[in-house]
Amino acid sequence: MTLPFVHADWAAIVPVAIVAATGLVVLIADFFAGREGNRYVSIVFGLLGIMIAGYFAARQFGHNYDAFFGGFMVGGFATVFQEIILIAAAGSIILYATVGAPQRVAGMSAIMLWSACGAMLMAGAANLMMIFLGLELLSLGLYALCAAVDRKTARESALKYLILSSTATGFLIFGFALLFGATGSIRLADLVTPTLAVSPYFWIGAGMFLIGIVFKLSLVPFHTWTPDVFEGAPLPVTAFMSVATKAGTLAVFARFIYAALPPGTAEGLLLPVWIVAGISMIVGNVGMLAQENLKRLLGYSGVAQVGYILAALAGGTPLGLRYALYYLVAYAFMNLGAFAVAAAISGDGEEGAQIASYRGLARRRPWLAAAMTVFLLALAGLPPTAGFLGKILILSSSVSSGFLWLGALLIIGTAISLYAYAKVIRLMYAHDEGEAREFRPFVPLAWTSAAICAFFVIAMTFYPLTPSNVLPLVR
Amino acid sequence: MALVPLTIALPLVIGALLYLLPREDKVLSRAIGAIAAAATFAMLIAGRDAQWSVRWLARPFTAAFHFGATPVGFWIALLLALCTACAIATTRVARTRDFVALLLLLEGTMLGLFLARDLLVFALFWDLMLLPVFFGLLSWGEHPATAWRYFIYNFAGGLTLLLATAAFGVIYGSTDVIGRAGAPLVGSWAPWIFAGFAFAFLVKTPIWPLHTWMPPTYSGLPPPMVAVVSAVQSKAGLYGLLAIALPLLPNYVHQYAVPLMVLGAISLIYGAVVALVQNDAKRVVAYSSLSHLGLIVIAIASLNPLAIKGALVYIIAHGLFSAALFMVLGYVEEREETRSLLRLGGLGWKNPRLAGALCIAALAALGLPGLAGFVGELVILIGVYQAGYTWPVVVALIAIIIASAYMIRLYQDVMNGPEVEDLPVRTDLTWVEGLAVSPLLFALVALGVDPAPLLRL
């Protein structure tokens, strides 16, 4: 049997295809960059490809594209997720301007682009196969990326990620098999059958599927891998993982809860997820308190932030999805910005990953310190940043959908997190500089990235970018 | 007309621009800062009735960047501009430029708070105004732990304010409500929303037992900043009670009037008694603040119109005299290098102008007739009595007697008594210092003689 590959399919996957092709272009361009390699060639080509893909993805927004017999659907909320993933890829590849051996940058950028393809496929996935395909493409790239630096912790990180992530994928696949057994179809849309609400295959299958999702989102109790993997992986990879993995998985989760649940099952099936999200807000924020490594700190912070995003989805309302997207965009900018600052003061040793190295930054590099302050305030949810407005939106969503306890946990978690973020701010503005540290000179790309992120983190407060008509296009 | 947002933006922009000056510059940054603060004073008067609004959110509730002075907010904002100008003029701390810039940022964020007509904007500036003080405590404070305590307490209040604001917006449909005659909020959520607001406001005021962040903060901050914080930032909670809780949730203020009054009365007595035994001059004033602000909470909780008018007078009066006290005590500390009442003494014999300034401020604080503090106290007591509450009046009268004791003790220990012998002769109040503190003292006398503009509201 041959599968027809029609023009409509192409139209849907153009952005993904461009990103994939860009990976090849980066590799070929590197041939001409000399033996030692030139990191800027890879970065510039990578960014150009991402921008072109972003343009085509943006053009899809508002139209319904569907490819591979309904297995891949973009144009609605999936497009927003794809843009977030592209932003994450761009913001991460830029970081290779300061870290990573030059001869490796091309290869790592290419793998990162292909990983991004996987995440973009997940964002548009509308059947079980496509979810799995996207997830594996994303993860395979990440395993390699985590190990791509000569450090013992990096190898440990890659191995840990490989083993634990495979376990989660096992759950996911087993869940898929049961779901397929229950419906006889791999299409998510076919799950919306009233008779399934009493099928044990559906309940067990969906439960295992959700366990896999919760693992990938690194929520409690499956969060313990996150800080270790984040710490070991190279800085750009950590930045990419912290946003793109979450965005891809959240897209799948959102499509599942909005478009693939048999009537009447949502409440019972999803309640454990909301509980887990609530616990994650507390555990993630408490975990941050004792950290001395920025990557670990942001790993724990990510555990809590995903909890916040899920709180927006808890009501299953159209507005909730918009607020989740708003917060995710804001989170992408604040996280990538923080990593950009870390990269701007790092060399190959990744000094910027150590919180202690921020001591006295405000005197030596006042603009970087100011940008970092903005990102940390945003992560803590203080004004005048998008984190503040995002929290307001999530709180109002949880109030109106009756999940006040999630709102209360969010408040408590935020109060705890404040100390961890403010500790870094305090260190930057400390006047009792210990041993004077030399910060590396101006790195245009990393500084620009930090500046752009800071701009968006502040500007989004005043102009909330909530795409208006995403929900009708979920299905 | 965009005059109101310009008034808020002016100190913020000038404050940020100050960082472009050379780091060591003192005179120029002080001059620019004082002029900028004075300019906001003029702009506030010019823009008294102006309003300005730009749409912010359409969903989940409507919100707008809506600015414009409410009657109460207008007076507090004027107080803020005056105190900031006076405080900046005599700033003498290390890293003057950064400090002046921070004071201007503090002024701008608080102006935003007092001129906000939208609850969400109010909450935004509420959190924002904590940051300059936090950085001030970190950089110039005596102990970093103080900064944390200040920040954690007040931010916890800010978070409950945020949750309450979100809930309010969802239920009410709009947060563009400050100073607008609308139906009060009712329903099963209303008590919780009131609780969220009340917690934030009472932490910020502060009120016993939520006050523990306050004494170390006030004694740790440099004098110019503590003058602004004690005079104006502590009024944010009271302003919230007056402008938000009273019009929007009157039933709950009424329902919880007695608990509020009890807390106010405990603060009133507790602050006064502790002030009596403190040996740190700044802590005496800090605890006296706790005591005075307790009286204002009683006044607001009584819901009597006269008492509320008195509360406004006393808010302004307390701002003026506490700013003056902290500034003059700052001058004393600069000269004597201590603020321990056990070591200080006899300063007044050779420095009559310094003694005079402290004397007027202390007399206003203890409620001498003819000064603004007296008017406020008297009107509040009459109003609370009219409302049918006798016991708070009795408690307040006792506290006022104690106030005389600790204020006179403060003055005696600093200015009278045997001269400190191991110290050389100190200069009297310089003309810049005199110029800086005299507007506050003049306003105390003027409002004491003729409080009509405040009572007419």
Tell me which residue range forms the domain holding B408: 256-457
Q: pLDDT-based confidence at A471, cuts 50/70/90?
A: very low
Are A422 and B148 inside 8 Å of each other by CB? Answer: yes
A377 vs A282: CA distance, rounded Å: 18
Name the domain boundary from B199, B222, B248. B248
A140 vs A120: CA distance, rounded Å: 14
Q: pLDDT-based confidence at A304, cuts 50/70/90?
A: very high
In the A/B pair of chains, how many CB contacts fall below 8 A?
A: 74
Tens digits of residue pLDDT in A68-101: 888 888 888 888 899 999 999 999 999 988 887 7
Query: Which secondary structure element, helix H or strand E, spans residue B54, and what is its range?
Result: strand B51-57
B296 in the same domain as B185: no
* pLDDT for res A2: 59
Indicate the number of domains in chain B: 2
Q: pLDDT-based confidence at B54, cuts 50/70/90?
A: confident
| Residue B166 predicted with pLDDT over 80 | yes
B191 in the same domain as B74: yes
| Residue B345 predicted with pLDDT over 80 | no
Q: pLDDT-based confidence at A472, cuts 50/70/90?
A: very low
- Chain A residue at shortest CA distance from B153: A415
Are B165 and A391 inside 8 Å of each other by CB? Answer: no
CB B331 within 8 A of CB B429: yes
Q: What is the mean pLDDT of residues A126-130?
A: 90
- Which one, of A224, A416, A394, lies nearest residue A310 by Cα? A394
* pLDDT for res A150: 81
Q: Chain B within 8 Å of A422 (Cβ-Cβ)?
A: yes
Name the domain boundary from B248, B270, B305. B248
B367 in the same domain as B283: yes
Q: Would you call B68 helix, strand, or coil by DSSP?
A: strand
| Residue A475 predicted with pLDDT over 50 | no
| Residue A467 predicted with pLDDT over 60 | no
- Which one, of A232, A209, A233, lies nearest residue A127 by Cα? A209
| Residue B234 predicted with pLDDT over 80 | yes
Candidate from A391, A422, A431 with C-beta closest to B139: A431
Q: Which residue has the higher pLDDT, B453 or A328?
A: A328
B403 in the same domain as B294: yes
Query: Can you read off the two tokens belonging to residue A294?
Result: 């920025």
For tokens 């299958």, the residue is A205
Q: Chain B within 8 Å of A239 (Cβ-Cβ)?
A: no
Q: Chain B within 8 Å of A458 (Cβ-Cβ)?
A: no
> Mutate which of A321, A376, A426, A468 to test chain B, going by most B C-beta atoms within 10 A?
A426
Q: pLDDT-based confidence at B423, cuts 50/70/90?
A: low
Smallest Cα distance from A461 to chain B, Å: 9
Smallest Cα distance from A292 to chain B, Å: 19
* pLDDT for res B103: 93
B365 vs B324: CA distance, rounded Å: 10
| Residue B386 predicted with pLDDT over 80 | yes
User: Percent of chain A having pLDDT more than 90?
Assistant: 49
Q: What is the mean pLDDT of residues B59-72?
A: 87
Are A395 and B160 inside 8 Å of each other by CB? Answer: no
Candidate from B124, B151, B166 with C-beta closest to A422: B151
- Chain B residue at shortest CA distance from A385: B124
- Quote the ipTM score: 0.85
B315 in the same domain as B221: no
B339 in the same domain as B235: no
The winner for highest mean pLDDT among A68-77, A115-124, B409-418 is: A115-124
* pLDDT for res A409: 93
- Chain B residue at shortest CA distance from A403: B167
* pLDDT for res A87: 94
A114 vs A50: CA distance, rounded Å: 11
Candidate from B125, B148, B167 with C-beta closest to A399: B167
B353 in the same domain as B224: no
Smallest Cα distance from B12 to chain A, Å: 13
B189 vs B186: CA distance, rounded Å: 8
B288 in the same domain as B240: no
Q: pLDDT-based confidence at B298, cuts 50/70/90?
A: very high
The domain locations on chain A are: 7-473
| Residue A35 predicted with pLDDT over 80 | no
Q: pLDDT-based confidence at A139, cuts 50/70/90?
A: very high
Smallest Cα distance from B223 to chain A, Å: 20
Name the domain boundary from B198, B226, B248. B248
B295 in the same domain as B226: no
- Chain A residue at shortest CA distance from B59: A319
User: Crossing angle of helices A152-183/A200-216, nearest 10°?
Assistant: 160
B328 in the same domain as B242: no
> Mutate which of A392, A427, A433 to test chain B, going by most B C-beta atoms within 10 A?
A392
Are B159 and A464 inside 8 Å of each other by CB? Answer: no
Q: pLDDT-based confidence at A63, cuts 50/70/90?
A: confident
Q: pLDDT-based confidence at B421, cuts 50/70/90?
A: low
B241 in the same domain as B263: no
Q: What is the mean pLDDT of residues A314-320?
A: 83
B392 in the same domain as B294: yes
Candidate from B57, B127, B160 with C-beta closest to A411: B160
